[in-house]
């Protein structure tokens, strides 16, 4: 044991104390390890394979460069790009230039830019082809996958902005591919000075070809024409950059190879997985200090969405078909679309502090805390080059509680599968609940039992005061009025269905064949007289009821829309609430639960007993 400890310590001491030993080690490693870049006390890795996410969602994660500092125990990642296909018509793209991980101290992330893309024209992974099956013998690195093909096609088809002069007057951009810029990394010079130069040039290439950097230069060139945008206004600049990234492919620099998450999960031997499965305490013992010693600090998170996509969502989920027969709804839909369609909306969160706690005991939940120093939203119009801050809060905080049994290898502490007896017992608790709140809670527990679900608890609070732009208040007033009119339309449709005849009238029925041109008392007298002659008084009364209902419906809609639900009243109420929020103090927020199905976790469970549960 002494020898095993002493000789490696002597070797490390020589490398740190004597420059000739360190230079010799660097030159030797550069010759034999072509994919690694050694310079001074740093190890750099470039041209890394992408991480292909093929679990619950499809996605691609790219890191263009990683630097490991041995003296300071720091890992720095450069050029991070992430594209996730959340649904068939929704995709999330994220970009970050730099992430610093100071081991056992903290994690620092710079500006993070995210874009929610809806619809096939905006998405990079909208159409994914089939697997080609072209894999290497080791089964780890894949040469051609649908995600890589989609990312490569998107990056080639995008006309990247060519930056000819930076702010310092230096021409950083080159008309070459990202792969061509990294060719020099594979053949490194044994000389320290040349290696340092290649290393710095590679980092400069990564920084200046990133989507964030190029979008920033595009915004700076148009800053003179943008209303309300100043180059020294960091908040407005970030919102403009985020809006510029909306049309950029999710993955701008796809590598030639990728490794799948499922492949990495299957690399370990079966006996190793079985051993780890029997010792879930070791996983908590590893995660607990890692979460405690690595608090998270993020400079900003900027997330944007297209107004065209938001307009389509409102049409599908809110307006639907109701505007076809209502002129007022069509007018309100045009007002809403006019404010949304030609704009991009950016939510900006600044100075984020995060801390996670993984307990050693499985009896406690995993708790994550997030604090946001400032929170604001911007509306950017690209055509007219205008920008406005529409919402601003004094800050926000978020707490997430995750049950410990959702960790891997913790299926043994999952709640038991609900039985018929459990459901019957919960039915009794619903019937015997004291008061409305307890009844609602018991019904929710019964629903969880029937669906075999658990919940992740989420609590979000915003700090007051809050300020709102007048254009946003007008938009909210129009949307509120539209929803009230739609509610009336729904109620009227329900009454129509209730009064509709169950069977079609006969062709020779004089009541059904009478045109509904008359109404009111005259129609009632006429139909009743005809009904007395033909013996069909009941149908006459039904016809009169339908006429009265139609008149009542039309009159009620006109009275409500023209009386209670009018633009002036709604605008006054919305403005009054906004004025109170600008002077209010305290927090306002929401606490809820995210359902998680337990059946997939039960299916992954193994029968082996636990040594350290």
For residue 471, is pLDDT > 50? yes
Question: Which phi and psi (to 5°) does residue 166 adopt?
Answer: -85, -175
Rounded to the nearest integer, the mean pLDDT of the chain is 78
What pLDDT shows up at residue 293? 93
d(CA 110, CA 99): 7
Task: State what percent of residues in the chain have pLDDT above 90.
Answer: 22
For residue 513, is pLDDT > 60? no
3-state secondary structure of 176: coil
Question: Which phi and psi (to 5°) does residue 470 adopt?
Answer: -65, -35
What pLDDT shows up at residue 338? 85
Lowest-pLDDT choice from 29-38, 395-404, 520-529 = 520-529
Dig out the tokens for 268 from the structure. Answer: 């370990």
Per-residue pLDDT tens digits for 205-235: 999 999 999 999 888 887 766 555 666 778 8
Give the mean pLDDT of 318-339.
Answer: 81
For residue 95, is pLDDT > 60? yes
Angle (CA) 85 307 249, round 5°: 40
Give the mean pLDDT of 287-299.
Answer: 94
Q: Let me know: does 505 contact 512? Beta carbons within 8 Å.
A: yes
More confident residue, 448 or 552: 448
- Cis ω for the linkage preceding 465 (within 30 of 0): yes
**14: confidence class by pLDDT, cuts 50, 70, 90:** confident
Q: Let me know: does 227 contact 379? Beta carbons within 8 Å.
A: no
91: left (phi > 0), else alpha (psi -120 to 50), else beta?
A: beta
Give the mean pLDDT of 495-513.
Answer: 52
- Token pair 């409305």 is found at 436
For residue 510, is pLDDT > 90? no
d(CA 493, CA 282): 60
Residue 95 buriedness (CB in 10 A; 0-12 / 13-18 / 19+): buried
For residue 8, is pLDDT > 80? yes
d(CA 314, CA 118): 13
Per-residue pLDDT tens digits for 24-55: 877 776 665 555 666 667 888 888 888 888 88
Find all residues with CB under 8 Å of 289, minimum gap 6, and list them: 104
Dig out the tokens for 575 from the structure. Answer: 């403005």
Closest-CA residue to 65 (of 21, 98, 107): 98
Closest-CA residue to 527 (of 497, 502, 516): 516
More confident residue, 527 or 447: 447
3-state secondary structure of 80: strand
**93: confidence class by pLDDT, cuts 50, 70, 90:** very high
Give the mean pLDDT of 600-607.
Answer: 77
| Centroid of chain to Cα 93 | 9
d(CA 511, CA 127): 57
Give the mean pLDDT of 517-525.
Answer: 52
Q: Let me know: does 392 contact 376? Beta carbons within 8 Å.
A: yes
What pLDDT shows up at residue 512? 44
What pLDDT shows up at residue 143? 57
Out of 11-20, 156-165, 300-309, 319-328, the most confident range is 300-309
d(CA 54, CA 39): 36
Residue 402 buriedness (CB in 10 A; 0-12 / 13-18 / 19+): buried
Dig out the tokens for 525 from the structure. Answer: 């007298």
Out of 439-443, 558-562, 607-611, the most confident range is 439-443
Closest-CA residue to 253 (of 181, 155, 182): 155
For residue 536, is pLDDT > 70? no
Closest-CA residue to 457 (of 597, 362, 596, 592): 592
Per-residue pLDDT tens digits for 231-281: 677 888 899 899 889 888 889 888 888 888 888 877 778 888 788 888 889
- Widest CA span of the chain, in angstroms? 120
Rg of the chain over Cα atoms, rounded to whole angstroms, equals 32
- Token pair 């790219």 is found at 62
- CB neighbourhood size of 593 (10 A): 14
């Amino acid at each position: 044991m002494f020898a095993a400890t002493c000789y490696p310590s002597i070797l490390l001491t020589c490398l740190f104390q004597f420059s000739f030993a360190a230079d010799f080690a660097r030159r030797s490693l550069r010759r034999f390890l072509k994919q690694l870049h050694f310079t001074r006390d740093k190890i750099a890795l470039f041209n890394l394979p992408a991480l292909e996410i093929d679990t619950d969602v499809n996605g691609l994660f790219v890191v263009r460069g990683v630097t490991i500092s041995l003296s300071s125990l720091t890992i720095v990642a450069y050029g991070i790009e992430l594209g996730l296909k959340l649904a068939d018509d929704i995709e999330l793209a994220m970009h970050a230039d730099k992430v610093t991980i100071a081991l056992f101290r903290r994690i620092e992330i710079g500006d993070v830019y995210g874009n929610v893309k809806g619809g096939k024209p905006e998405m990079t992974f909208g159409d994914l082809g089939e697997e080609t099956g072209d894999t290497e013998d080791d089964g780890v690195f894949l040469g051609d996958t649908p995600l890589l093909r989609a990312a490569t096609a998107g990056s080639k088809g995008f006309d990247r902005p060519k930056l000819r002069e930076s702010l310092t007057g230096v021409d950083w951009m080159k008309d070459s591919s990202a792969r061509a810029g990294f060719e020099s990394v594979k053949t490194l010079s044994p000389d320290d000075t040349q290696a340092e130069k290649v290393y710095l040039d590679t980092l400069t290439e990564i920084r200046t070809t990133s989507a964030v950097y190029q979008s920033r230069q595009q915004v700076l060139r148009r800053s003179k024409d943008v209303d309300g945008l100043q180059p020294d206004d960091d908040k407005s600049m970030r919102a403009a950059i985020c809006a510029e990234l909306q049309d950029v492919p999710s993955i701008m620099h796809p590598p030639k190879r990728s490794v799948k998450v499922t492949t990495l999960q299957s690399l370990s031997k079966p006996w190793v997985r079985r051993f780890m499965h029997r010792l879930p305490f070791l996983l908590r013992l590893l995660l607990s200090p890692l979460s405690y010693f690595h608090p998270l600090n993020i400079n900003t998170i900027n997330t944007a969405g297209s107004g065209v996509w938001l307009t389509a969502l409102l049409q599908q989920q809110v307006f639907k078909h109701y505007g076809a027969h209502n002129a007022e709804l069509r007018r309100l839909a045009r007002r809403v679309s006019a404010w949304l369609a030609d704009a991009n909306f950016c939510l900006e969160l600044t100075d984020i502090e995060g801390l996670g706690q993984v307990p050693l005991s499985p009896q406690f939940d995993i708790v994550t805390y997030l604090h946001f120093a400032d929170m604001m939203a911007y509306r950017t119009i690209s055509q007219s080059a205008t920008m406005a801050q529409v919402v601003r809060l004094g800050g926000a905080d978020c707490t997430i509680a995750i049950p410990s049994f959702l960790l891997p290898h913790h299926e043994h502490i999952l709640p038991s599968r609900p039985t018929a007896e459990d459901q019957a017992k919960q039915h009794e608790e619903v019937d015997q609940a004291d008061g409305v709140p307890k009844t609602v809670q018991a019904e929710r527990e019964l629903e969880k039992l029937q669906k075999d679900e658990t919940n992740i608890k989420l609590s979000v609070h915003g700090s007051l005061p809050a300020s709102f732009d007048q254009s946003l208040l007008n938009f909210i007033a129009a949307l509120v009025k539209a929803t009230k009119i739609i509610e009336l339309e729904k109620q009227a449709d329900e009454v129509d269905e209730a009064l509709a005849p169950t069977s079609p009238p006969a062709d020779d029925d004089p009541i059904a064949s009478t045109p509904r041109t008359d109404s009111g008392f005259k129609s009632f007298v006429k139909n009743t007289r005809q009904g007395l002659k033909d013996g069909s008084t009941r149908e006459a009364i039904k016809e009169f009821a339908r006429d009265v209902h139609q008149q009542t419906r039309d009159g009620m809609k006109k009275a409500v829309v023209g009386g209670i639900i009018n633009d002036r009243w709604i605008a006054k109420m919305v403005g009054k609430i906004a004025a109170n929020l600008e002077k209010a103090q305290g927090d306002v927020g929401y606490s809820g639960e995210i359902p998680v199905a337990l059946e997939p976790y039960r299916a992954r469970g193994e029968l082996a007993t636990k040594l350290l549960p």
